[in-house]
Structure 1
Amino acid sequence: MPEFTLRKTMLFIEEIHHDGGPAAASPRRRAAIVALVKNPFAGTYAEDLQSAMDDLKPLGLMMTDRLIEAMGGIEGIDGYGKAGLVGERGELEHTALWHVPGGYAMRARLGEAKAIVPSAMKVGGVGTRIDVPLGHINAAYVRSHFDAMEVGVPDGPKADELLFALAMTRGPRIHNRMGGLSVSEVKGEDGLR
């Protein structure tokens, strides 16, 4: 069983009141949490990586719980996304370890979430930042919720570390007006519409 020793976490919270137009009736809240962990696969090639995803599930749940708390509770959370960043001694496939634990944790805590959890992966050194893609939790075609939130930490990921990120939102982009499927039209049956 590989060990993903946790070095640190960071929370990012934004409240967006306007984006050049009139102030919104209520601000849009976006929040993200990142965790820096030891990459047990750094500097080696391991054929079997999938079994290690289960080892990361507790981290995903802990991060999700802290993120929901930062959002002020579960009520109204309607967007999410995840990302992974690996240091130089790792490989891009190591970030894919986050697909199940990150997505599983948010789905488990948010309940009826049907849409795929948008994801981004990247290799980078200390101070590298990554955009966490965001989408609606029940329907991938809701354009008003297409967004991204940039995260990173000044001292990671080190060459033998992984940075895992989760993000959630409440509400559409401020001043969204690009049409497409509206939240009121979501059926939430297949995760698409």
Structure 2
Amino acid sequence: MPEVKIRKQVRILEEIFHEGGPAAATPRKRGAIVTVIENPFAGRYVEDIAGFMEDLKPLGAAMAKELLAALGGDAKAIDGYGKGAIVGAAGEIEHGALWHVPGGYAMREALGDAKAIVPSTKKVGGPGTRLDVPVTHVNASYVRSHFDAMEVGVSDAPKADEIALVLVMTCGPRVHARVGGLAAEAIKGEDGLR
């Protein structure tokens, strides 16, 4: 399979103190890391692309570790995550799907024993395309207080022959979460759902 060629990386960190209501005792943190790589399949249809997932695994592991470090380095503080990809116009949506295994499993490994599936999104777009990356709780997808999305993008990426690969991690629920449902403290952690 082709070599992974990186053009640039972008890190985005947020601290959310309030959303119009009272200030939180502890601000919510959200972080994203975006790596822009050359799309080795751009401009043509290639039948066998699955092997490139193996090539992306070291990048996924490095991105997960870097994002965790940017959010303070404590895996136990991370309780939400998501992933995504923006494929340049000379590629196809399936090229973004190559990120599912390398991105998702890398975050789960970096965080220890995360049980929930890592939510994901992908799209085809040009430079400056924004992507809303879905976020759920790392151990139980049904925890409503952690349903969220983080908008990410890079002003000059992806070019037509690139892919922007994204990981997102969060610390804490939405600042003013109050719509009920399964509470984080009540997670059983048996199936990644509840």
2: CA distance, partners of 1:82 / 1:39:
18
Shift in Å, 1:3 = 2.1
Q: Which runs of 5+ in 1 are unaligned?
A: none
Equivalent residue runs for 1:26-175 within 5 Å: 26-73=26-73, 74-175=75-176
TM (norm. structure 1) is: 0.99
| Alignment size in residue pairs | 193
SS in 2 for 1:75: helix
Superposition deviation, residue 76 in structure 1 = 1.1
Deviations 1:118-168 (A, max 9, x none): 000100001111011100000000000000000111111000000000000
Counterpart of 2:11, as a letter, is L
Matches of 1:4 and 1:157, distance apart in 2:
15
My pick for the range that moved more, 66-75 or 25-34, is: 66-75
Gap runs ≥5 in structure 2: none
Q: Percent identity?
A: 64
Shift of 1:48: 1.2
Runs of 4+ in 1 over 3 A off after TM superposition: none
TM-score, length of structure 2 as denominator length = 0.98
3-state SS in 1 of match to 2:76: coil
CA distance in 1, matches of 2:20, 2:81: 24
Question: Root-mean-square deviation (CA), in Å?
Answer: 0.6
Quick check: 2:76–2:111 contact (8 Å CA) kept in 1? no
Mapped partners of 2:129, 2:176: distance in 1: 30
Is the deviation greater in 42-51 or in 82-91?
A: 42-51
Contact residue 89 and residue 126 of structure 2 kept, 8 A = yes
**Equivalent position amino acid for 2:35 in 1:** A
* Structure-2 separation of matches of 1:48 and 1:113: 30
Instruction: Encode CA deviations 1:45-72: one digit per residue, 9 max, x unaligned.
Output: 1111111100000110111111001100
